[in-house]
Amino acid sequence: MAIDHIVLPSTVVFEPGAEPHSATLVMEPCFQGYGTTIGNAMRRVLLSSLPGAAITAFKISGATHEFTSIENVLEDVVEIALNLKQVRMRVHSDQPVRLTLSKKGEGVVTAGDFDANADVEMVNPKQPIATVTDAKGLFEIEVIVEKGRGFIPTEDREDEESEMGLIKIDAMFSPVRSVAFRVEPVRIGDITNFDKLIMDIETDGTLSPEEAVAQSASVLIQHIALLGGPSPSDTE
């Protein structure tokens, strides 16, 4: 059987993944080679181009730099910084948002202990931040939350103005944690060299894998459409 046109996939489905906020995208049949083409393009956009939010800097009462030990707190500042990088949230402001937290007494301090803010919604409020080891201990922290895309290390923000005691950290804005894909052969009639694209996607919970794929596809469509020139309706 000869194929005189490019066959479009007739099946695009999402299957629930084994982990929370994960899913498997199955797309078939794809024209020969298109499974790899689409998979590579989507993976790159999913990991680098979707907007998200992250803590970009913080200030702890009693700490002047990242190598400081804090009285009555189990973790040092470096460990606290690592914990802050794991805090995920939805931010409803285009401007940087400051969040404050003050916790007195022995126990674990979590992301859910930050003072409520209408512009910020914590997605993983149980994420540990620090551990107060004394009943009279006091842990106070202020963080700056910003929107962005991809990954921005602190070295790329050295020219930004900074205030006394503010410690900058690497910011992982991407809401997508991991993407992996594979391509398997699939048959149409007598032809067996069509592609089946299988893509595993895991997000941080701020959006679903389905939403991440839709946003990534939109980014690609906007760019590729520029290569097609004006549509017939534009020239009439």
Q: Which residue has the tokens 């024209």?
A: 31
Considering the entire predicted model, what is its pTM?
0.84
Residue 163 confidence (pLDDT)? 80
| Structure confidence by residue, pLDDT tens digits, 100-118 | 999 999 999 999 999 999 9
Domain 52-172 adopts which CATH fold? RNA Polymerase Alpha Subunit; Chain A, domain 2 (2.170.120)
* Range(s) within the chain of domains with CATH label 2.170.120.12: 52-172
Q: Which CATH class is domain 11-50+175-227?
A: alpha beta
* Range(s) within the chain of domains with CATH label 3.30.1360.10: 11-50+175-227
| Structure confidence by residue, pLDDT tens digits, 128-184 | 999 999 999 999 999 999 999 999 998 887 767 678 889 999 999 999 999 999 999
Residue 161 confidence (pLDDT)? 67
Chain center to CA of 31 = 31
